[in-house]
Chains A and B, each alone.
Chain A
Amino acid sequence: MQRNRELVNFLPVLLLMVIGFASVYAARSEQIDASSLSYGLFFVALFVGAHLLLRLAAPHSDPYLLPLAALLSALGIMMIYRIDPELAAAQTTWLLVGLGLFAAIVIFLRDVRKLDDYIYLLGVLGILLLVLTIIVGDEVNGARLWIRFAGMSIQPGEFAKVLIIIFLAGYLNSKRELLSTTTWHLAGIPMPALKHLGPLVTMWGLSLALLLLMNDFGTSLLFFGTFLAMTYAATGRLAYPIIGGALFSGGAILAYMTRTTVHTRVDIWLNPWPEASGSGYQIVQSIFAISDGGLFGAGLGKGYLLFQSGETIIPALHTDFIFSAIAEELGLVGATALIIIYLLLSYRGFKIAIASDDGFSKLLAVGLAAGLALQTFVILGGVIKLIPLTGITLPFVSYGGSSIVANYASLALLIIISNRSNAGARR
């Protein structure tokens, strides 16, 4: 039975959570108060609740998704708690909201195919959110990703991502036959008719607009990469990723040549050292922190992350750079374990896609899994200087309400897709 397996999967997560909080507390007991350990208990209660909900509302759903997400959230709260116990309280509240939306989707939506009727509405909503960000958004580090609303900072891009994935799943599913038809060959690769490249060019234009208007390479790469992955899954035609990759490279070069923010980001990616106390400070300090972790890490709570004043050495440590903190305190071993957790989570997503029996659900699962994996790659690649740095969150781990809520919504969609196909398989 799936749910008993899930319960067993939760045991190591809860154990790790207890050990983690205890070791952070032991290492930093001078600075932090024992009452803050109650976040740990609250966390346990939340996931026991989510587990019970699934027993009732989605008994056949995938038994790995929730424990893996819980593990990531636990690690995130632990690190945030270690950086600033007050932020951990806020993060726990956002987790409550995220799991609330998760529950609502599982209980009320039940079947993702209902969304297929509203894909254009959802797609337009997604685009509007992005447009809104561009118009009223605040610039942070040169990138325009945040809007302020009722005293809160919201990252609409996180929600837009989910909405656009839903739209693309519906759209690609309905146009699948058409887009798969090939009429000519280029270097031996079957190519679709030029008139059917419309969606590709449209998405490319949207990504390019994101890049040029938001000055953010990562968000753009994430949107376009997810789109290409879904198109490839839908059509099986390599032509799309190849043409798309070429178009995207062209756009990136254009942005590099015309936008100073993009230019600076690429330059400090190539060589941050001369700018170590200026524009390259963040990435240089990130590299120092990561390398300081070595093979086994400094130990939870023992890394050199904060100044005496309590300010973080790396700006945005609890959001974009949380992985640097994890890599310093848990070492290569812990960081690799974290990467494997993400790989497992995306593996479950792709597996749910394969097991699913209708095109829309399949493509939606692919989009969510690919989106999760790509987002993880873009931010981790950025903080370890594999690719140019960009300001997006590490799913489930980074501090931030928008990110948590959007990620648990995605998780709920995967849960209900798997619940339906597993239930079908049992019948």
Chain B
Amino acid sequence: MNASIRRLFYVMAILFGSLVAVLAWWQVVQTDNLAENPLNTRKVFAQMRIERGLLLDADRGELANNRREGELYYREYPAGDLAPQLLGYSDPVYGRVGLELSQNDYLTGTAGEMELLNAVNMIMGRESRGADVSLTLDPQVQRTALGELQDLGKRGAVVVIDVETGAVLAMASAPTYDPNLLEENWVQLNSDPGAPLLNRATQGLYTPGSAFKLITTAAALESGEFTPESKFTDNEGSIEIYGNTINNWRDLPFGEHDFSEAFSQSINTTYAQVGDRLGQDRLIEYMRNFGLYEKPPFDLSPDEMVASGRYEEGGLASPADELDPVQVAWTAIGQENVQVTPLQMAMIAQAIANGGEMMEPYVVDSISDFDGTIIKQAIPTVWKRPIEAATARDITGMMIKVVNEGTGIKAKTDKVQIAAKTGTAEVDGRGPNAWFVGFAPAEDPKVAIAVVIEDADAGGGMAGPVARKTLLAALGL
């Protein structure tokens, strides 16, 4: 028996050895990976001993501050449900998202730039605290945008960008939630079909519908084959393209018209033909010029940004994918598989308003340590030059017509000339997405806007008034 007892002990020793091997895997090999896992709140908890910097709006109002309990600091959000998807949260149980995540190194004072300051503070015996992050977010504009969406009782998003700098003045996403009640409402927030935790402005993918005609128009005008005065005829209200029928809205025929009327009345039959003439390569080229197929450079973590473009089987398709002519025609009118974010559409409006220069969007204006020294200041930067200034002027003229006599008439106001393109994107199984993409004042653009409303009725109808009121708030009118 003794020989088999000895062998049994060896078996046990091997089993115990395997325990040590697996432990070494977790505690040595995987330790850094797991510490960074977003499900792991240990780092958040450790950093709760640091007094986090404040998040401040453009009027220096506090959007996030701290409540001290014992030796720990808990985050509070005085503005409540105003912009939780952008600001994010910093919670010991649920971790961090939004600016609380992307700006965490500054807010906790652990960024490289702050090491020297921290060392000085330690020597001087002063307590370190995180740096304050000042945003470009304008609380009035944000409140107006969110309030308009909430009054409609619809899901959607509004993005407002300063035309000259690219500064984000508002980024509203509805439905919203109160981050102060995160722990109480966590289960409900996660199961809510309205997905209140989702930042629709940067992560919501929507079919652009006719709002996409901004890109098709830019490509057409710069091809040299079309001008705003180019003539078209539409007697049917529908057109057959390679055996596939494309209809106007309610199959309305428009008869003799020019390109700018095709734009202001959003005539699908004409745009399908224009798209066919331009072909896939030129269409895709202008999508890329306007920044589609890339995540916009922005102050949020790349995980919270999605790229716009053609999507196939749930993923971003390669711009090099070969399309058939029917797909090209549908793409030209913003249907088929094109998916865009509200932020991307606001950037397109900003580029047209800014004479063809697309700025990098940003919401972090400056970061200052607690004695007020600025350690980082945003510098407006041109991201792309998608179109010539002359093209931008032509498109602006066409966009004015949209508001004055076209599909955007509900946004018309005596106070300022608004220029815009609307869209009513068909969505399977529910009401269409209503788009309003534009800027004001048309003659000297200051602010650009994109509004999207889910499950809406026709384009200018719902999104137009939201855009008008938000633009007026942004312009102080």
**Residues of chain A having any CB pair with chain B under 8 Å:** 229, 232-236, 273, 276-277, 284, 287-288, 290-295, 304, 307-308, 327, 331-332, 335-336, 339-340, 342-343, 346-347, 350, 353-354, 359, 362-363, 366, 369-370, 373-374, 376-377, 380-381, 384-386
Contacts and interface: CB of A to CB of B under 8 A. Distances in A.
B249 to A, nearest CB: 43
Contact of B4 (A232, A273, A308, A381): A232
B1 A234 contact: yes
B27 A295 contact: yes
A291 B45 contact: no
Contacts of B12: 343, 346, 350, 370, 373-374, 377
A273 B6 CA distance: 40
Given A290-B27, A327-B23, A304 B45 contact: yes
Contacts of B92: 307-308
A232 B22 CA distance: 28
Interface stretch (B28-36, B75-83, B109-117, B149-157): B28-36
Contacts of A232: 4, 7-8
B124 interface: no
Contact of A350 (B5, B27, B30): B5
A346 to B, nearest CB: 6
A362 B44 CA distance: 54
B24 interface: yes
A308 B31 contact: no
9 contacts: A233-B4, A287-B34, A291-B30, A292-B31, A293-B27, A307-B93, A342-B16, A354-B6, A384-B19
Nearest to B8: A229
Contacts of B16: 339-340, 342-343, 373, 376-377
Interface of B: 1-9, 11-13, 15-16, 18-20, 22-24, 26-28, 30-31, 34-35, 37, 39-40, 42, 45-46, 69-70, 72, 92-93
Nearest to A235: B4
B39 A276 contact: yes
Nearest to B39: A276
B45 A294 contact: no
Contacts of B11: 229
A339 B19 contact: yes
B376 to A, nearest CB: 31
A293 B4 CA distance: 38
Nearest to A228: B8
User: Lowest 10 CB-CB distances: which A-B pairs, in order?
Assistant: A291-B34, A373-B12, A332-B27, A350-B9, A236-B4, A291-B26, A288-B40, A386-B22, A276-B39, A291-B31
A327 B8 contact: no
A87 to B, nearest CB: 22
A46 B7 CA distance: 36
A350 B1 CA distance: 11
B44 to A, nearest CB: 10
Contacts of B72: 308
A344 to B, nearest CB: 10
B91 to A, nearest CB: 12
Contacts of A385: 22
A353 B9 CA distance: 11
A384 B23 contact: yes
Contact of B2 (A235, A336, A354): A354
A295 B26 CA distance: 10
Nearest to A373: B12
Contacts of B24: 332
A350 B8 contact: yes
A384 B30 contact: no
A273 B33 CA distance: 14
A354 B5 contact: yes
A288 B22 contact: no
Contact of B26 (A277, A290, A340): A290
A336 B37 CA distance: 25
Given A304-B42, A308-B69, A332 B4 contact: no
A315 B19 CA distance: 22
Contacts of B18: 381, 386
A366 B13 contact: no
Contacts of A235: 4
A288 B8 contact: no
A236 B1 contact: yes
Nearest to A376: B16
Contacts of B9: 346-347, 350, 369
B15 A373 contact: yes
A147 B13 CA distance: 34
Contacts of B69: 308
A270 to B, nearest CB: 15
B35 A295 contact: no
A86 B4 CA distance: 45
B152 to A, nearest CB: 33
Nearest to B44: A304
A282 B70 CA distance: 28
A292 B20 contact: no
B15 A377 contact: yes
Contact of A294 (B28, B37, B46): B28
